[in-house]
Amino acid sequence: MASHESEIQLVSDSKNPQNSTSTNKNPNDNTIIDIFSASAYGNFEKLLKFVEEDGASLSKPDGNGYYALQWASLNNYTNIVQYIIEHGGDINAADNMEQTALHWAAVRGSVAVVDMLLQNGARVEAADVNGYRAVHVAAQYGQTGFLNHIITRYGADFDPPDKDGRSPLHWAAYKGFADTIRLLLFRDAYQGRQDKDGCTPLHWAAISGNVEACTILVHAGTKQELMVKDNAGFTPSQLASDKGHRHVAFFLSNAKRIHVNYCEEKVCIGWIGKIGYAPILFFVMIIVTILFINTVLAAPTFTKVTAVVGLWGWTAVSLSVGTLIMFYRCSSKDPGYIERNSEGLTNHADVDDPLLNIDLNYSSVWTGNWSQLCPTCKIIRPVRSKHCPSCKHCVEQFDHHCPWISNCVGKRNKWDFFVFVCMATLSTFIAAVVAVQRIWTEPVLSFAGTWTQHLVTQHPGAITFLVLDVVLLLAGAALTTAQASQIARNITTNELANAARYTYLRDPEGRFRNPYNHGFRKNCTDFLIRGYSEDDEITWPSLQQATH
């Protein structure tokens, strides 16, 4: 697979020993000896001297075939780019690799430079000897903002193949640039395209061993992409295994379940695959409640209940009924589905581009975080939202998908879910205490065996109830504790699990910081009163900067 790794190379000028990427260093006067080094280092005064006093030409290349405009475009010196264009620099001049200044600008992703170039006649679809256009270079270097800019403002083709049949999506997948992948899929880049070696973008992501890239491609794609074989007969999962990326190979080998267990009616595995485990849990809760009434409270083999035990017993039954009601509510209620665009953006000329119309400075939705793009639903979603591969919807303030309620837990049903687990925990706890009290006070009369044998023999229903109840109690207590802790910190289960990946959960220094945490009192008050917190209420103003 070595042939896949021939990405664009920018060779430095032999007169510039610092190389083209060393723009943060301050060269001395001996380093800047001509218009090319002056352009590369952004020394405008030296450039003026070379051109206006020494008569140097801005339209001729250096000894390696590189132009001053390319060096200035690479290093994002807009004033020098403007000067070169106004003083005879060829906007479409190409070096020995047929790369133009636009190719070089794509490496660093300067939007201001690309505007100057394209507004002055640069060809947005210019290709070099490898067939790389500016969109390929931007994808190779993860310049998502630059890529989106030339697509929306200048109509650049976002899905062209290079000479080896590789699209920008292939390159972004191989390099592991998740944001670039999201943007290209959002714009309907063809995920099933195979290059000259038969590799799809998913093959490339598997070769590089990037889990996030694979995850995005799998969730946005279909089962067919998982089964495509390259010219050597390898699927993406087999390639990942061959490269030693066992975690990726495991994910891809199990990824078919994402497309099989839910919503694909032709391949659903039984009714469980369609509706989840909610009916099972509902049935278990009813059985446990009936067992409690028949084998603990009203069992003729036990002594007559006292008034206190009866009060607590029927309190547990009432809570159990309430639990069933809340279970139905959080299972059937809309968790916060975000309305999707039913049609692709690129197939209809009269459909406005949402990224073009978003006001980046004042929008309450767009914060500059490319993970807000959902390539499946074709929407720009709030920061804390996530696409659920099980429900096939984006869910606002996504917490997690719970198979036991056959629904997601999100902004609109998290309050119901929390009340459900609290009531379930409380009812099972009270029922367990009542059952233990009834069993503990049971007299053993003329029985040859032990007390335990007596209970198992005489009260098998009560013992069965207690075992089931304790299992439910432990599960409910753990879930209640976890949810209460997260509510107190105003953070979701999904955010805790993926804190390392979400840039909005890190401050400018890269340390974890939750911008939605307003303190225990306000977090809990907002949740108990409204059921959620407002996403636009953040505790530190650099959220938008951190997400760029």
Q: Is 334 left (phi over 0), alpha (psi -120 to 50) or beta?
A: beta
Question: Number of C-alpha atoms within 13 angstroms, CB side, residue 130?
Answer: 18
Task: Tell me whether residue 199 is one of the annotated catalytic residues.
Answer: no
**Between the CA of residue 30 and those of 16, 18, 38, 46, 47, what are the distances in Å?**
11, 13, 11, 11, 14
Residue 161: burial class (beta carbons within 10 Å; 0-12, 13-18, 19+): middle
Q: Which of 282, 283, 312, 313 is nearest to 299 (CA)?
A: 313
- Using an 8 Å Cβ cutoff, are 27 and 20 in contact? no
Distance of CA 139 to the CA centre of its chain: 18
How many CB atoms lie under 10 A from the CB of residue 52?
Answer: 10
Which one from 374, 377, 402, 408 is the annotated catalytic residue?
402
Contacts of 225 (CB under 8 A, 6+ apart): 191, 192, 200, 202, 217, 218, 236
Token pair 């036991």 is at which residue? 404
The amino acid sitting at 284 is V
Q: Which of 203, 207, 110, 116 is nearest to 165 (CA)?
A: 203
Token pair 């201001």 is at which residue? 112
Q: Which helix (H) or strand (E) holds 401?
A: strand 400-402
- Using an 8 Å Cβ cutoff, are 373 and 360 in contact? no
Q: What are phi and psi of 478, to 5 degrees?
A: -65, -45
Token pair 């006649």 is at which residue? 121
CA atoms of 393 and 340, how far apart (whole Å): 8
Structure tokens at 151: 């697509």
- Using an 8 Å Cβ cutoff, are 288 and 469 in contact? yes
Catalytic amino acids? 402
